[in-house]
Structure 1
Amino acid sequence: MSITSSDQSFDTQRFIHYCENMYQKNKAFDDKQTDRLARHRHLEPESAKFLASLVIAKQAFRVLEIGTSTGFSTLWLAYALNNLAQSDSQTNLQPQLISLDIDSERSQIAWQHLQAVGLSHQVDLQVIDAESFLKQNQQTFELIFLDAERKFYHHYIEYLHHALSVSHILVVDNVISHADEVADFITTFKQDPRYLCNTLNIGAGLFMAVRQS
């Protein structure tokens, strides 16, 4: 399933205010949930802003997000791509963000948030299992953001290698808060000479692997 649109209006200050309210409401919701899977589990604001900064600094026109949830990080990635689209008049490249989630209800909520701030035209939300998408994917992405069910990450490794070319970046969330759950996955990249890796003390911990060869 793919959802697309063509919104044109955008207001930066309104966007920032919207994101602040969205995060606080979803955090309050998550704090009341006893079932981890019922939580929206949004990226921390400082991590979301770092991702957006990385997209803009790198001029990453092709971005893949694995784990949409209800779209907080998606909003910030779309914001960054919208920034690139508005500021770059030297290229005919069209910014592209593909965001994947298996949960159609959460993807629909994310879509509503994107429409509310005028950024839905930047995003292709796909309701699909991440491994299924990666298995058939033929594209490379300048930035891949991974924030999904950690127990499945080891299934993605070889597909991620194929989706990243030289200078492309993989960013993984929750690598400090849930270090034991991602340790083997992270070690695989750290031991691979094709990558230059760092763990950043931002939010719940971000792991960044830059493909260097």
Structure 2
Amino acid sequence: MSMHGGFERTDFLSYCQSLYDTDKAYDIAQANRLNRHRHVEPDSAQFLASIAMIRKPNKVLEIGTSTGFSTLWLAYGLHHQSDADFISLDIDKSRSNTAKQHLQNVGLSSLVRFIVQDAFVFLSKTEDIFDLVFLDAERHFYCDYTKPLHKILSIGSVLIVDNVLSHSDEVCEFLAEFLNDSRYICHTLDIGAGLFMAVRQEP
């Protein structure tokens, strides 16, 4: 039984499928990629929820809210926890507000803190350690995030990055910073557009 009033699993699944279909059609019609919502694929979203359920993280950070499809699924993965602190970060206020409405519509809004801020600024200033970080933002900034990401990850922390197969040329330099770092166990997963997972094993 959910601990969050108004949440129903069957309604949630139906809502997510409808949202994905609607936004996918919207994206196809957009000539400018920056106008697209660019959600994760459904199987990638479900994988995120699975990791959240398995890991049971106390602190979660999503970098790149967009309009909240992955946010919905991460919240779903956390909805049996009463103490999880989940921050979803985006620089676009209108998209963050849309995501917030989606979470309210399915009864999971109490699980997420939406912050509208530049990711590099947030990462550089935060003193928090996160158990689970999902990165799905503008890829040309990823290398700027490397040093502050190392700072917010500790032993057992999990970093997941989207689009690593579909846009491998754009993320290869960033991923190499983790693949070549002995503090991490890394896996590239053929799920959706490709997910990269780095698990911190040393301080």
Which of 63, 68, 78 is equivalent to 1:66? 63
Matched pairs, number: 199
Q: CA deviation at 1:83?
A: 2.4
Quote the Cα distance in structure 2 between the aligned partners of 1:9 and 1:38. 32
Give me the CA root mean square deviation. Answer: 0.8
TM-score (norm 1): 0.92
Give the corresponding residue for 1:113.
102
Give the corresponding residue for 1:204.
193
1:81 and 1:96 in contact (8 A); partners too: no
Give the corresponding residue for 1:182.
171
Give the corresponding residue for 2:181.
192
Quote the Cα distance in structure 2 between the aligned partners of 1:179 and 1:83. 35
1:8 and 1:121 in contact (8 A); partners too: no
Quote the Cα distance in structure 2 between the aligned partners of 1:38 and 1:9. 32
Quote the Cα distance in structure 1 between the aligned partners of 2:179 and 2:189. 14
**1:70-109 equivalent positions in 2, closer than 5 A:** 70-85=67-82, 94-109=83-98
Structure 2 residue 124 is matched with structure 1 residue 135: yes
Which of 146, 150, 155 is equivalent to 1:161? 150
What secondary structure, in the 3-state scheme, does the structure 2 residue paired with 1:155 have? helix
Give the corresponding residue for 1:89.
none
Give the corresponding residue for 2:42.
45
Q: CA deviation at 1:84?
A: 2.8
Identical pairs, percent: 54
Q: CA deviation at 1:81?
A: 1.0
TM-score (norm 2): 0.96
Summarize deviations over 1:128-150 as a string: whole Å, max 9, x none.
00001001101111100000000
Unaligned runs of 5+ in 1: 1-6, 86-93
Structure 2 residue 6 is matched with structure 1 residue 9: yes
Structure 1 segments (4+ residues) deviating >3 Å: none
What secondary structure, in the 3-state scheme, does the structure 2 residue paired with 1:84 have? coil
Unaligned runs of 5+ in 2: none
1:66 and 1:99 in contact (8 A); partners too: yes
What secondary structure, in the 3-state scheme, does the structure 1 residue paired with 2:80 have? helix
What amino acid sits opposite 2:20 in the alignment? Y
Quote the Cα distance in structure 1 between the aligned partners of 2:153 and 2:164. 20
Quote the Cα distance in structure 2 between the aligned partners of 1:47 and 1:140. 24
Which of 27, 31, 46 is equivalent to 2:28? 31
